[in-house]
Structure 1
Amino acid sequence: MSQQNSPKPAANARPKYGPPTRGGGPMHQGGSGEKAVNFIPSLRRLAGELGPELRWIAVVVLMTVVGTVANSVGPAILGNATDLIYNAKVIQNRPIDFAAVAQVLLSAAVVYLIYFLLSWSAAWMINGIVQRSIYRIRQKVSDKLTRLPLKYFDGQPRGELLSRVTNDVDNISQTMQQTLSQILTNLFTLIGVLVMMFYVSWVLALVALVSIPIAMVVTMVIGKRSQKLFAKTWKSTGELNSQIEEAYTGHDLVKVFGRRREIAEQFRVKNAELFTASFGAQFISGIIMPVMFFVGNLNYVVIAVVGGLLVAGGGLGIGSVQAFIQYSRMFTQPITSLASMANLLQSGVASAERVFEVLDAEEEPADASGALPEPVRGRVAFEDVSFSYNPERPLITDLNLVAEPGSTVAIVGPTGAGKTTLVNLILRFYDLGSGRITLDGADITSVPRKVLRSEIGMVLQDAWLFGGTIRDNIAYGRDGATEEEILAAAKATYVDRFVRSLPMGYDTVIDDEASNLSAGEKQLITIARAFLSDPSILILDEATSSVDTRTELLVQRAMKKLRTDRTSFVIAHRLSTIRDADVILVMEDGAIVEQGNHDQLLAARGAYHRLYQAQFAAAAAEDAA
């Protein structure tokens, strides 16, 4: 074991450090400034997610075209039936040919049946297209999260990130589901009806076209105003989710410190912001529909008047006017529908942009293809290592350190000294600013992270257990672990002692918060998980902080067995837990200021001695009082 540091800068030159917060505690309020949706590029990118479905989309388009043609021909066929009746009774004053009328009506029924079947089939296929596309988006987000560095999660409130990968993705799904089929149907209906309108009467068709520029102007004016409000709606949704998640995760602290009213007020404020943004977006975009109905009704009146004049002048048959009035309704409906979908598109694209921000986040650098020496002995060396979370606030500078195989290295120091950062660098949770760290002589950046981390077992101060059985949580340490290996790890860490007293034993299901276990029991399970992984390097970050004194002694014995032939890094605030360490490193402001074993450091009467006195002398004084 050796260590060497460059001259330590003045105390005021190295401010206290810390990674970006994960959203803070229950009282935290985060959120960046409002970002308007970049609508067209985001919409184009969202449409690009449908790329693998182009073959099916082509089939849907073909079916929609045929169905639209059938639907567009229908009114013209019905107009022929009206002409048969009108000409027979009014013009020629003869009996109606009901057989001919029935044949026309049967033709219309067949045409509308074809339209129904094709529309139903297209809707069924579109549902599959959308769901497969959303499946791929979710998969991309999931894969992306596994490639993001720890610093990304440090800077993201958990509720906000969860909102992006759940609420926003669901909103994209609903938007695509509701708009894709409607866009295709309405677009082709508009084209088909327009062709038939010119076929029936070009004069009336020109009259009907007046509504198109009005519709476009209305949609653009209203859409531009609602666009930013939809972006703010989903931003506020993420912030509200973050606030709720933090408040309920830390509900014990909220109650202990009597902050329920303050939390309720924060919720009220965030809820009011979401209400205001959502109400404004929906109200403004909702104006499109009634405005378009108003324009359509005016268009209908003009067509009825002009058509009546043409019939009176003999320039158009009454059946044609009837057909054209139907066409005018059919012509206005897709315009109104397309305009009303503007709010859905704006909302969906706002969510898509938030998801794309996750997909575009900077990933960890690509893994190298190197390998570690076999077998791994566990010699860890820091060579001129420098690191900081913020370039303007240095933390570790020019650190040199060697941990020999099989040795136990304890790291102590005040809060913020850089103890946890030191072991995080070994795991490559963060990349170095300069220098390098080697494992058995191999630069850790030259091997894949998975290979490196497979040789390292870690137990954190905050025990993390997932919903499942106790057996499953222990087995998480190594794939393919046998029942005998799981039981051996449990017995070595004294988990077996309390599990045997549970009604379901190792099949006891741990709930999401692991509230059916004590803090010490949860910590023992995480230690058993690390034991099962059988690592070459063991990292214990305040691993016994939640364990009672008697259990701590048992765990210390188990850890002593485990540390045999393994390099161990033990971060501790309780100095009683690291007296038997081979070497104790004392850190202050990112630098190692002392090293040695327990007796040597006490005799030196330096930084370690001050920590020891502050911890044990104060405790003795309290006991005496």
Structure 2
Amino acid sequence: METLREFESDLTIDKKFGKLKITLYENKLVLDDGKNRVEYNLKNISNVKLNEGFGINSIVADYEGKKIEILYFTNRVKEKLAELYEILASVTSGNYLKMNKIESKKNQNVVRWLLSLISPYKFRVSMGILFSLLLVILSLIPPYLLKIFINNVLLTKGNSYLFTEIILVLIAVYSSVVVITVLQNYALNYLGQKLSNELRVRIYEHVNKLSLGFIENFQSGRILSRITTDVGNTQWFLIWGIPTLLTNLVTIIGIGVIVFFMNPFLGIFAILPIPAIIIGTTIYRRKSRLKYHKVWRRSADITSLLTDTIPSSLIVRSYANEDYENSRLRRLTEELFSSQMGVIRLNVSWWPTLGFILSLTTVIIWFVGGKEVISGTLALGTLVAFITYLSMFYQPIQNLTNVIPFMQQSFTSAERILEIIDSEPEIKESDNPKKIDLKGEITFDHVWFGYDPLAPVVKDVNLKIRQGEKVGIVGQSGSGKTTMIKLLLRFYDPLAGKILVDGYDLKDLDIKNYRSQIGIVHADPTLLYGTVAYNIAYGKQNASPEEIIAAAMMSKAHDFIINLPLAYDTHLGERGNRLSSGQKQMIAIARALIKEPKLLIMDEPTANVDSITEGEIIKSLKEAMQGKTTIIISHRFSILNYVDRIIVMDNGKIVEEGKREELLQKKGKFYEIFKGDGNGTREIYKETQYS
């Protein structure tokens, strides 16, 4: 049975100081202090509570109809065991948590997947391979002509007609090689570019289908590495690796037949190194696989560092951490160098040894064949042709051995790509998703959620928002406010309970249709690489210039935009780094408003602007919110004055709700949050009323 969590208490089952090992399994909780062992069936545990004392605390619950004390612990381990309490409370509540792990999709066979990529291009691949095979056949002709040339022309000194024929045939052969090489290169390079671009788009499209959790857990640099470097390596194998493999194999077979036909005795010497090559290559491939994986992991780490720090240069320099980041890159490059040297050491220990074996075999054939020529049993032209064919025989063997490291790189890259391709989206639409005209009635029905399923951040939330209602959500950091918005946007699915939109289960709705009717302003607005107009129109792809300007005026961004060098055509740089935080936030508001959303969600929409601008934005937002269901996460009292109801969250739960003045008079959590901002309650009441 798989262990889900392990904890440790400093009080034993007998309530004495000592080590108590606590193990949580899928269906039971086990306590073991070395002398005593107790097991609890999770199905029989209910009503779990945490009793906090002055120095000693306990977790109590109902078990099989009786009130029991599950364990005791001191304040020293209180924080850790409070997590155990949260898990037990949620697991045994009856509303929360499927404890079985999600099974990952079984990886596809790499070779089968690679071949499936080129199946739509069978004709072009076949033509490329055909051209390659024709080049092999043509390459076998000159050595045979050399044999005839020496034996029947040079040594006889009289057959001028045959001499002319040989020269003409050679001209025809080499001319054909040039033409076919041009055709082969064009066909394969065209296919290579086509395939690599299509594969990059396919990976990108699949990444966009994956859940937000995948993107948040998978470093962006590693994803970029797969779309760029790994696709290039995979493309090389498909376009050049396969034809190279086939043509070299055909060359080996063709030349093997020829040399045995020319002289079976020397042919036996020619094949002596082949078993050593096959065995050695097999061993090499097994050892090199892990080493190449290590190289690509280190390379992806460097890409991740660069994609993280270069766009964040302002932060790096503000904290004077240039030397720190330089040292991080230097350390990663040293690790990359070390892993690359591991590959190099493996290569230099194998390939020179192989080359020596092949060279030694050639010397043996020179020795044996030379003695036969001297004794008159073998013609000189035959030996020269044999040696020429032998070099051509060993060359494809060496080509195969040289190409294997690149093939191994390609297989490694393909495996890395498959890590993404094989990832299944956690958020899936139903078989027949519903497209609705969003009205804006929202219901959270006993919703539980945790990024880690055993550590919920939203706990049994019940909330109903009426159509057209304006609701503010407040709470301390980590209370679950933004997570609720992510659930409402269906970036994640609840682990228990459900979310209803206009009476429909959110899981039954067409995701794109649903999100297209929502306008959202994030607390940390992200602008895209492009102009001001492009960023505003991102909320409505076919927006007219008049609509763009109107949205900017509503968000109060128009005034600063027209003072930019090119106004709405001003390029904002990467992530909008040429603007202040407040300016970025105003453009983000314009981007949300331009689509005229049915549901408006704003996470700290005025957090980064001054009070005068805030007042102007609020005036505009009052008009924009008219008749629309609106959810505002904010700690600015001025904007909360314009909502119909305020929801107060604490530790993943809704603890209070009501109007602003009502909540202040209660002097509960809401009062505590805003009194703690340093202004005091009298200052709170002096907030400007924007009308």
Query: If the length of structure 2 is used for normalisation, what is the TM-score?
Result: 0.81
Letter in 2 for 1:366: K
Structure 1 residue 299 and structure 2 residue 299: aligned?
Answer: no
The answer to which of 96-105 and 355-364 deviates more is 96-105
Query: What are the superposed Cα offsets for residues 233-286 of structure 1, whole Å, 9 maximum, x if unpaired?
Result: 000111122123323343333334443333333222211110111122134225
2:514 to 452, 457, 461: 452
Structure 1 residue 401 and structure 2 residue 469: aligned?
Answer: no
% identical aligned pairs? 30
- Give the whole-Å Cα distance in 2 for the aligned partners of 1:381 and 1:238: 43
Query: For 1:599-610, what aligned pairs fall within 5 Å after superposition?
Result: 599-610=661-672
Task: Give the structure 1 partner of residue 139 of structure 2.
Answer: 71
Residue 539 and residue 496 in structure 1: after superposition, are their counterparts in 2 closer, same or farther (change >3 A)? same
Letter in 1 for 2:217: G
Residue 270 and residue 420 in structure 1: after superposition, are their counterparts in 2 closer, same or farther (change >3 A)? same
Residue 360 and residue 14 in structure 1: after superposition, are their counterparts in 2 closer, same or farther (change >3 A)? farther
State the secondary structure of the residue aligned to 1:468: coil
Task: Give the structure 2 partner of residue 352 of structure 1.
Answer: 414
Check conservation: 1:381, 1:438, Cα contact below 8 A.
yes
- Give the whole-Å Cα distance in 2 for the aligned partners of 1:250 and 1:500: 27
Check conservation: 1:80, 1:319, Cα contact below 8 A.
yes
Residue 188 and residue 124 in structure 1: after superposition, are their counterparts in 2 closer, same or farther (change >3 A)? farther
Query: For 1:462-611, what aligned pairs fall within 5 Å after superposition?
Result: 462-611=524-673
Query: What are the superposed Cα offsets for residues 20-43 of structure 1, whole Å, 9 maximum, x if unpaired?
Result: xxxxxxxxxxxxxxxxxx999434
State the secondary structure of the residue aligned to 2:423: coil
Q: CA RMSD in A?
A: 2.6
Task: Give the structure 1 partner of residue 264 of structure 2.
Answer: 202
Structure 1 residue 46 and structure 2 residue 114: aligned?
Answer: yes
Query: For 1:152-551, what aligned pairs fall within 5 Å after superposition?
Result: 152-368=214-430, 369-371=432-434, 373-374=436-437, 376-551=438-613
- Give the whole-Å Cα distance in 2 for the aligned partners of 1:250 and 1:480: 32
Letter in 2 for 1:371: K
Query: What are the superposed Cα offsets for residues 485-528 of structure 1, whole Å, 9 maximum, x if unpaired?
Result: 22211111111111222231211121113222221111111101
- Give the whole-Å Cα distance in 1 for the aligned partners of 2:200 and 2:284: 32
Task: Give the structure 2 partner of residue 55 of structure 1.
Answer: 123
State the secondary structure of the residue aligned to 2:285: helix
Residue 566 and residue 529 in structure 1: after superposition, are their counterparts in 2 closer, same or farther (change >3 A)? same
- Give the whole-Å Cα distance in 1 for the aligned partners of 2:547 and 2:49: 50
Shift of 1:111: 2.5
Check conservation: 1:396, 1:418, Cα contact below 8 A.
yes
Shift of 1:352: 1.3
- Give the whole-Å Cα distance in 1 for the aligned partners of 2:428 and 2:647: 33
- Segments of structure 2 that go 5 or more residues without pairing to the other structure are 1-45, 53-78, 86-105, 684-691
* Count of residue pairs the alignment pairs up: 590
- Give the whole-Å Cα distance in 1 for the aligned partners of 2:392 and 2:436: 74
Letter in 2 for 1:285: N
State the secondary structure of the residue aligned to 1:547: coil
- Give the whole-Å Cα distance in 2 for the aligned partners of 1:287 and 1:620: 80
Structure 1 residue 114 and structure 2 residue 176: aligned?
Answer: yes
Query: For 1:123-134, what aligned pairs fall within 5 Å after superposition?
Result: 123-134=185-196
- Give the whole-Å Cα distance in 1 for the aligned partners of 2:540 and 2:607: 24
The answer to which of 553-562 and 238-247 deviates more is 238-247
Check conservation: 1:16, 1:416, Cα contact below 8 A.
no
Shift of 1:288: 4.4
- Give the whole-Å Cα distance in 2 for the aligned partners of 1:7 and 1:469: 56
Query: What are the superposed Cα offsets for residues 48-104 of structure 1, whole Å, 9 maximum, x if unpaired?
Result: 32222222222233333333222112211121010123542xxxxxx4223321212
The answer to which of 174-183 and 549-558 deviates more is 174-183
State the secondary structure of the residue aligned to 2:218: coil
Shift of 1:586: 0.6
Check conservation: 1:409, 1:581, Cα contact below 8 A.
yes
Check conservation: 2:225, 2:303, Cα contact below 8 A.
yes
State the secondary structure of the residue aligned to 1:339: helix
Query: What are the superposed Cα offsets for residues 204-252 of structure 1, whole Å, 9 maximum, x if unpaired?
Result: 1111011211222332333333221111000011112212332334333
Shift of 1:425: 0.9
- Give the whole-Å Cα distance in 2 for the aligned partners of 1:497 and 1:297: 79
Residue 282 and residue 575 in structure 1: after superposition, are their counterparts in 2 closer, same or farther (change >3 A)? farther
The answer to which of 315-324 and 7-16 deviates more is 7-16
Task: Give the structure 1 partner of residue 15 of structure 2.
Answer: none
Letter in 2 for 1:462: D
Shift of 1:598: 0.6
The answer to which of 140-149 and 251-260 deviates more is 251-260
State the secondary structure of the residue aligned to 1:452: helix
Residue 120 and residue 305 in structure 1: after superposition, are their counterparts in 2 closer, same or farther (change >3 A)? farther
- Give the whole-Å Cα distance in 2 for the aligned partners of 1:14 and 1:538: 36
State the secondary structure of the residue aligned to 1:477: coil
Check conservation: 1:227, 1:281, Cα contact below 8 A.
no
- Give the whole-Å Cα distance in 2 for the aligned partners of 1:351 and 1:373: 42
Shift of 1:348: 1.6
Query: What are the superposed Cα offsets for residues 334-353 of structure 1, whole Å, 9 maximum, x if unpaired?
Result: 10111011111111211111
Residue 593 and residue 465 in structure 1: after superposition, are their counterparts in 2 closer, same or farther (change >3 A)? same
Shift of 1:178: 4.7
- Give the whole-Å Cα distance in 2 for the aligned partners of 1:559 and 1:416: 27
Check conservation: 1:226, 1:280, Cα contact below 8 A.
no
The answer to which of 342-351 and 588-597 deviates more is 342-351
- Give the whole-Å Cα distance in 1 for the aligned partners of 2:412 and 2:201: 20
Letter in 1 for 2:583: E
Residue 244 and residue 468 in structure 1: after superposition, are their counterparts in 2 closer, same or farther (change >3 A)? closer
Q: Larger relative CO (CA 8 A, sep 6+): 1 or 2?
A: 1
Residue 289 and residue 120 in structure 1: after superposition, are their counterparts in 2 closer, same or farther (change >3 A)? farther
Shift of 1:593: 0.3
Shift of 1:620: 9.0
Shift of 1:445: 1.2
Check conservation: 1:123, 1:181, Cα contact below 8 A.
no
Residue 340 and residue 170 in structure 1: after superposition, are their counterparts in 2 closer, same or farther (change >3 A)? same
- Segments of structure 1 that go 5 or more residues without pairing to the other structure are 1-5, 18-37, 89-94
- Give the whole-Å Cα distance in 1 for the aligned partners of 2:219 and 2:657: 38
Letter in 2 for 1:64: S
- Give the whole-Å Cα distance in 2 for the aligned partners of 1:39 and 1:399: 37
State the secondary structure of the residue aligned to 1:49: helix
Residue 323 and residue 40 in structure 1: after superposition, are their counterparts in 2 closer, same or farther (change >3 A)? farther
- Give the whole-Å Cα distance in 2 for the aligned partners of 1:476 and 1:256: 31
Q: Comparing both structures, which one devotes a greater share of its residues to strand?
A: 2
Letter in 2 for 1:72: L
Residue 178 and residue 16 in structure 1: after superposition, are their counterparts in 2 closer, same or farther (change >3 A)? farther
- Give the whole-Å Cα distance in 2 for the aligned partners of 1:323 and 1:153: 61
Check conservation: 2:447, 2:494, Cα contact below 8 A.
yes
Letter in 2 for 1:389: Y
Residue 110 and residue 288 in structure 1: after superposition, are their counterparts in 2 closer, same or farther (change >3 A)? farther
Shift of 1:309: 2.6
The answer to which of 252-261 and 95-104 deviates more is 252-261
Shift of 1:619: 10
Shift of 1:618: 6.0
